[in-house]
Structure formats: structure tokens, C-alpha cells
Amino acid sequence: MPVNQEQRTGATDPTLVAKLEAYRQQRGWPWAEVARKMGIADSGLSSWRHGTYSTPETMNRRVEKFLAEITQIGQGPVDTQGLLMIHEVCRECQENKGFGVIIGLPGVGKTEALNKYYVENDGVVLVRCDVTTTLFYLLQAILGEEGGGATTAVMMQQAKKRLKGKLLILDEADALNRRALEGMRTLLDTKQLGLLLAGAPQLQRTLTRGPNASESMAQLYSRVDYFITVGNPTEPDLAEYLDRLNIHDTAARRAITKVGHTQSFRAASKLAAQAQRVARLNKAGEVTADHVRAASGIILLKAS
């Protein structure tokens, strides 16, 4: 059915189309793969590109956000030891069709590292889970439009075909219930894909001795090929990060590094970014300890 032009708001931004096309050609991907990376329907992206999408301004913002994210990922704040370990486990699982588990507290960089690997590598399916992600919705997220209105059993068979030769990454997997995890064991049994579960320490407890522990979970855990625990960034990690931000004041670096050690890399990066804003507002040439102290009063930090 043709789109009623009077009901459409705004128009497709040709500059964004050109930027997305340049990125697509650089990666050598078909448009369907770009749509999958963005988490949208291929038909929707096609309509937007050809100027027939019903709400182009909404899609403009989504494309702009995606392009900003991949630019930030490409630059990367710092390759911490944790990030490098995560990438190594991802690669091993993908190349050897292995099963990996990554455990880490919120803020240590798991999500950022997984997203970076997903964007930079072909043959990867990434699903971010939450407490509402049942097996049914998990399979829908894996299949996208292919899932349609199929039953769980049918989607399971479709997922086996869809994931053949690929790496499936489930971020925030500690939110999954036992049935969803058992479904992943069924996929793993095909020995035709790599599987990586990443989450908080609760994930390990669920797979072993937690409240949802069961024989099936024990069987799943027994198949783990790669297991790593990601902690807070090391001092060299934080030193490299602060060098890249051109924060050289000794006291300022010490304060930000302390937050990185006692809390997380995310907390340290937020503090550093806010300190830079405070310095700019005060027209200062460099970030000082005073700017860090002022920034820590603006953002929420745990008492240390």
C-alpha cells in the first residue's frame, strides 16, 4: 500500500544514506546484513533508503545513532586486558564452534567489548537479554523477520539453520530463565555453531549451584570450553586511557584511576568525561584535580 505523503513527517536524510552506503561498501556487506547489525527489518531499511518509509525522521535518528556508535567503536577508548581477553574468547568460540562463558560485574566493559567484536566481524549474531527474554522471544530475536508467527519448536529448527557456522553471543545472559538456557543447550548440541554467554556472577551460580540449578544446567556447564572472569581495568589500562584523553595532571589522574580500581572502567570513564566538560566550561587548558572533584559531585559515584 503506497505511503500517504501528507502523513509522513520529514524526509530521508541523503547524507545519512551516503554515509551508511560507504560503511556498507567498506565492510563488503549486503544491505540485509547492515539491517541485522542495526537490529531492524531489511524491508524497513530499504523503504527508508528509497524515501518511502512512513516515519523517516525516526529512522534518520536511528541511523545517525548507529553511525555514531560504530565510529566510537572504531576509535575505541582503550584495549584493556579484559577487552582483549573477551575478543580472544569470541574468536576461539567462532573459529572452533566452542562454548564460552564470560563473567564480570556491571561496568567492567563486557557489553562494549562484545559490541565491538560484533560490529567488526562477520558471521556473528548478538542478542542483548533481559528478564523478559523467554526462549520464544530469544528465538525471535535470533531469527528476526524469518521467525514470523512460528511456534517455539519450529523456530528452534529455523534457528539451527540460521546459526550454522556462526557465533551466537548472548549478553546479559544472567537474566535468562532455565528454559531459555536449556534451549541454547539444544542449539549447542548441533555442534554447528559457537555459543558465548556473558553476564554477571549470577550466571555462573545459575549454571552451577544457584536457585535454578538442575541436571540440565550442570550438563550445559560441563560443556564450557572457555571461561574467563573480567575484572576492573589495570593501572596500565587506565594510564593509556587517560593519555588518549590528554589528561596529564598527576592528581587528576590519581583520582580517576582510584575510581577505576575501586569501582569500574565505566565509572572512571564517566568521571573523566565529566571532568573534561567542567574544564571546558571553565575555559581551562587542561583537566585538573579541582575539575575531577567538581565532576564527582555532579555524577553518581559510590563512596570509596
Read off the pLDDT band of 81 (50, 70, 90): confident
* Averaged confidence pLDDT in the chain: 84
Read off the pLDDT band of 304 (50, 70, 90): very low
Mean pLDDT calculated for residue range 26-35: 79
CATH number at residue 252: 1.10.8.60
Q: Give the range among 45-54, 76-85, 193-202, 288-297 with minimum mean pLDDT.
A: 76-85
DSSP SS3 for 96: helix
Same domain, 60 and 117: no
Looking at the predicted structure, is the pLDDT value of residue 163 above 80?
yes
pLDDT at 139: 93
Residue-wise pLDDT for 210-262, tens only, equals 454 567 788 888 899 999 998 877 788 788 888 888 899 999 999 999 988 88
Same domain, 219 and 247: no
- For residue 303, tell me if it sits in a domain: no
Of 187, 203, 230, at which residue does a domain stop? 230
Mean pLDDT calculated for residue range 86-98: 95
Read off the pLDDT band of 209 (50, 70, 90): low
Q: Work out how many domains the chain is built from and give that number.
A: 3
pLDDT at 77: 47
Mean pLDDT calculated for residue range 97-111: 88
Same domain, 99 and 222: yes
- For residue 62, tell me if it sits in a domain: yes
Same domain, 240 and 218: no
- Please state, in angstroms and rounded to a whole number, the distance separating the CA atoms of residues 36 and 124: 10
Same domain, 197 and 168: yes
The better pLDDT of the pair 237, 170 is held by: 170
Mean pLDDT calculated for residue range 169-182: 93
How many CA atoms within 13 Å lie on the side-chain side of 50?
10
108: phi then psi, degrees, rounded to nearest 5: -85, -5
Q: Which domain holds residue 42?
A: 5-75
Same domain, 191 and 205: yes
- For residue 30, tell me if it sits in a domain: yes
Same domain, 119 and 164: yes
- For residue 66, tell me if it sits in a domain: yes
Of 75, 99, 121, at which residue does a domain stop? 75
DSSP SS3 for 195: strand
Same domain, 92 and 67: no
Looking at the predicted structure, is the pLDDT value of residue 109 above 50?
yes
Looking at the predicted structure, is the pLDDT value of residue 122 above 90?
no
Read off the pLDDT band of 7 (50, 70, 90): very low
- For residue 115, tell me if it sits in a domain: yes
Mean pLDDT calculated for residue range 143-172: 88
Looking at the predicted structure, is the pLDDT value of residue 94 above 60?
yes
Q: Where are the alpha helices (DSSP H) in 108-234?
A: 110-120, 135-143, 152-162, 178-188, 201-207, 215-222
Same domain, 12 and 66: yes
CATH number at residue 185: 3.40.50.300
What percent of the chain lies above the pLDDT cut of 90? 38
pLDDT at 119: 82
Of 182, 197, 230, at which residue does a domain stop? 230
CATH number at residue 47: 1.10.260
Same domain, 108 and 177: yes
The better pLDDT of the pair 143, 144 is held by: 143
CA pseudo-torsion sign 220, 226, 229, 233:
negative
Looking at the predicted structure, is the pLDDT value of residue 2 above 70?
no
Same domain, 188 and 283: no
DSSP SS3 for 59: helix
What percent of the chain lies above the pLDDT cut of 70? 88
Q: Note whether 268 and 299 are within 8 A (CB).
A: no
- Please state, in angstroms and rounded to a whole number, the distance separating the CA atoms of residues 250 and 112: 28
- For residue 304, tell me if it sits in a domain: no
DSSP SS3 for 287: coil
Mean pLDDT calculated for residue range 100-116: 86
Same domain, 111 and 217: yes
Count of other CB atoms within 10 angstroms of residue 123 = 12
Q: In what order do the strands lie in the sheet with 167-171?
A: 124-128, 167-171, 194-199, 99-104, 226-230
